[in-house]
């Protein structure tokens, strides 16, 4: 399988329609990613809380340190800025379990 088939282009990222704890941050990221790539931030790490871009760092460790310092024990969105997002494949049993729980 080619590398492109194991990834999704940023323009194809789906909207997060869940009511999960980071849905707002995920959707904000979707709206911001094009500008961030245009500005040359690919490969760097960002921190988002709500609909606010808190900052951008060169390493994952720096981003998580800032998240821990500013938002200790709170849900935050720390992510690497990528043009091509890797696809994550989950086992079928996880998918079936997750979907059975969300319908109850």
pLDDT above 70 as % of the chain: 80
| Closest alpha carbon to 36 in 67, 16, 15, 57 | 57
pLDDT surpassing 80 at residue 89: no
pLDDT, position 31: 97
pLDDT, position 104: 46
Domain extents in the chain: 3-102
Put residue 73 in one of left, alpha, beta given phi > 0 → left and psi -120 to 50 → alpha. left
């Amino acid at each position: 399988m080619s590398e492109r088939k194991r990834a999704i282009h940023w323009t194809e990222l789906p909207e997060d329609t869940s009511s999960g704890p980071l849905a707002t941050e995920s959707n904000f990221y979707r709206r911001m990613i094009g500008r961030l790539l245009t500005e040359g931030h690919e490969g760097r790490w960002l921190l988002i809380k709500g609909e606010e871009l808190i900052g951008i760092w060169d390493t994952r460790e720096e981003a998580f340190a800032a998240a821990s310092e500013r938002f200790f024990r709170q849900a935050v969105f720390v992510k690497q800025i990528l043009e091509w997002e890797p696809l994550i494949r989950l086992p079928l049993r996880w998918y079936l379990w997750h979907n059975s729980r969300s319908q109850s």
